[in-house]
Chains A and B, each alone.
Chain A
Amino acid sequence: MSSPMSSPLDQLVRVIVRLIKRAFIKFPQLALRFLEITFNPSGHLRQLALVLCVQISSFLLQRLRNQVRRGLLIPNKDERALDDATTYQQYKLCQQRIEAANPQTLRGMRNDEFFELMRQRASTYAKLQANGDEFGLMYHLRSELMRKQSGGAGYSRDGSTWLRKHRAARERIEEYQHQVCSALRYIASGVAPGSSRPAQRLAFINETRHAFGRTALLLSGGAAFGVKHMGVVSALQREGLLPRIIAGTSAGSIVAACVCSRKDDELRELLDLTGPTILQTFRFFGLRNSTPSASAADLERLAADTRAAAGVTPGGWSPADMEDNDGERNLLKASTVDWDLKRHLKRQQQGKTMLDNTVLKTTLKHL
């Protein structure tokens, strides 16, 4: 017979059980809510949809605007000439004519402070140079010369680059820069009365150079579009603006490697497409051959032949100056065949004989 009134202990147990039950029901809801706040999936998906729309529409707008600018609606002779220019000289002339028609002003750029600073510094350097005060010039240049000068209308840190996009601003900065260059040449020439020794002057220049920093050219990836990098390099090289540090990725690495393994005159030849074998060699993509692969024995025989022939056979054109170095080149060739053979054998051991006879063809072509 059970008592109608349960014991306090029993009641306590019942309360706890009820609490746990509620927690188990509530917990998934809470966790979901927590995840939703953290990741905000609906918000991000909506943003994604919006950004897709905006991206596509701005892409279309860009195209449309280009078409319009190319003279469908606006019969602007100069602007169309800008598109038809074949050399940079022509382009520059057209640009100048357009700018003369609608002159830019510096009003609204709010950079008076920056230009005033530039002007003051330029006049200081000019005065010191006129007085023949080499140490004073060095002192000022060491403490004032730096790449990212303050400037620009906004608070963005590349304000200086933004500012230079305007020709009027560029011209005012150029006055300052010409003065700096002339001061540097003055110091290096050592014509100042009581000038320091050449080693000291070089140390000054080197330290300033290190503090100022360098420029690099970066060529991106992009498969076949990578050939467009050639044009970029060509335009920079023609104007003497090609940096000495060049980095390439993917398709850009091919162009970068070609540029960096050639001296200036050879580079000119490559960029003008006048080199002997350039156009024949622009063959980057070939389909994998599905015919039965060359047997290892064939390659072995080929390798043996090459090793025997090393020292006799001259090879194909290569840009490095190996002309006087037939022995080394043939050794390299022989070791290339060795390399291919090893790779092939490794594949066969792995049971993957999808390797086609292009290896054989390639090596034959080398020889």
Chain B
Amino acid sequence: MAPGCLAHQVLETTLINLIGYVTFLEAFDRTGRVLNITVTRSDGKAPPLLCNYLTTPHMLVHCASLASCAIPGVFEAVELQAKGRDGRLEPYFKTGNWTWTDGGMQADLPKERLMELFNVNQFIVSQVSPLAPLSVPIDGTGLPWLEQMNNLLKCQLIGFLQGANKLWSGRLLRPGGFRGVDFILQDYEGTVTIRPSWGLREMSKFLSNFDQERVKQYTRDGERATWPHLELIRSLCEIEFCLDEVAAGLQQSIAVSRAAAAAASADTPGLRKSNSSMGGASAFTRGKLPSYIQLSAYDGDRPSDTPPASTQSGFPIGRSGSVDSKQGGRFSQLPGVASSASMLNLAALDTLDNDDSETMPPSMGMAPFQ
């Protein structure tokens, strides 16, 4: 553990003030936004770890962020913490004694992992890394042929380095464990790349603190850099956002009608016996497979038959008294193991099961129907 020149405790305090003691799963259940943070193991011998609510649900967000900020030589590498089953902090990796550093070393933009996990195929990148201009084509010089030549030369050199990177399992390019070449061998661009500008004068304040004026200035820089791309982004995302909106609305209406049906059948207990016999344990597992697809879970008024997210995840202590007794004592003590949403919307399939008319395949457009 090489000490850095800056104290990571200061950064840690700031992060705790900004974020609080939240785990990835709690953050997702609260806001419905999926947070991803990349960290690299400090010996560099493992692939970068992308932390999010699917891969590391109980890790604390602030310490993942702290690890991700730990540029070698500036901040010290840190251990990752998790919120344990009893609500206390514990090391995330029980064995190995690993410490974690700057995620930007190996994967500044964790594109591949996001594609695998979340079906992402379009990336809006906000690129402020001072190293990015080394490998990204420069534009706006007014001489297109110069830019293209520059690009070709860079591609050739990077291609050569990529080949050399395979020699001797990568040790040729990292003499003495110095991993500077990792910065060049990365992809720094997305479908849309927003590049807030920074001048050489600002470089001198690369590691200095903020006053109000500077924060405002930087925020304005970021906004200004985004404006030219906004219409492009709107055009690229229009259909996707429309699909999201439509799906959320449909899920909402289905949940409401299901709740109404459940309320109606509560009067005639004989009819719904099979459903109610599933009891608390089934309610605990059903509808809790991990997903970011079911939007209706975040819309405040949830259907009455699904328990609220807060009882399932995150806050096991101090709530045990208030949890409804229906779920049984054992489950109410446990922290969440999955989010409150469901993959490809099992709730919708449920209504199919319960429907007494014909059984239809859930897929549309496969079988014609009358």
Contacts and interface: CB of A to CB of B under 8 A. Distances in A.
Interface string B207-235: 11111101110111111111100111111
A177 B318 contact: no
A225 B202 contact: yes
B337 interface: no
B126 A203 contact: no
A231 B194 CA distance: 11
B31 A263 contact: yes
B266 interface: no
Interface stretch (A23-31, A71-79, A204-212): A204-212
Contacts of B211: 279
B318 A215 contact: no
B230 to A, nearest CB: 6
Contacts of B104: 220-221, 249-250
B247 A58 contact: no
B334 interface: no
A327 B79 CA distance: 26
Contacts of A13: none
Interface string B269-306: 00000000000000000000000110000000000000
A216 B352 CA distance: 33
B351 to A, nearest CB: 5
Nearest to B244: A209
A92 B224 CA distance: 11
B27 A228 contact: no
10 contacts: A47-B153, A54-B146, A196-B369, A197-B355, A209-B243, A219-B126, A235-B227, A249-B107, A256-B35, A287-B6
Interface stretch (A14-22, A121-129, A181-189): A181-189
Interface residues of B, number: 161
A260 interface: yes
Nearest to B246: A188
Contact of A241 (B12, B14, B233): B233
A202 interface: yes
B42 to A, nearest CB: 14
Contacts of B215: 227, 230, 273, 279, 282
Interface string B339-364: 00000110011011001000010111
Interface centre among A229, A246, A261 (most CB of B within 10 A): A261
Residues of A contacting B: mostly = helix
B11 to A, nearest CB: 5
Contacts of A227: 210, 214-215, 218-219, 222
Interface in B89-107: 89, 102-104, 107
Contacts of A244: 32-34, 244, 292
A32 interface: no
Interface centre among B7, B107, B134 (most CB of A within 10 A): B7
B197 to A, nearest CB: 8
Given A202-B250, A220-B104, A250-B68, A184 B243 contact: yes
Given A210-B119, A229-B126, A273-B216, A358 B227 contact: no
Contacts of B21: 318, 320, 322, 329, 332, 336
Contact of A198 (B102, B147, B234, B257): B257
A260 B216 CA distance: 21
* Smallest CB-CB A-B distances: 5 pairs: A231-B222, A318-B20, A286-B10, A204-B364, A213-B121
A47 B125 CA distance: 29
A216 B188 CA distance: 15
A48 B134 CA distance: 12
A248 interface: yes
Contact of B212 (A240, A277, A279): A279
Contacts of B18: 254, 257-258, 278, 281, 319
Contacts of A214: 118-122, 240
Interface stretch (A1-9, A108-116, A162-170, A297-305): A162-170
Given A227-B215, A231-B220, A253-B65, A362 B196 contact: no
Contact of B235 (A47, A173, A288): A173
A325 B318 contact: yes
B242 interface: yes
Nearest to A329: B21
A155 interface: no
B239 A177 contact: yes
B20 A216 contact: no
B71 interface: yes
Interface in A30-69: 44, 47-48, 50-51, 54-55, 57-59, 61-62, 65-66
B264 interface: no
A147 B121 contact: yes
A142 to B, nearest CB: 4
B249 A286 contact: no
A215 B239 contact: no
A218 B109 contact: yes
A117 interface: no
Contacts of B225: 228, 231-232
Contacts of A218: 109-111, 114, 123-126, 190
Given A223-B207, A273-B216, 12 more contacts: A181-B242, A188-B250, A203-B348, A207-B365, A209-B293, A216-B120, A217-B124, A245-B34, A250-B102, A256-B35, A273-B212, A320-B27
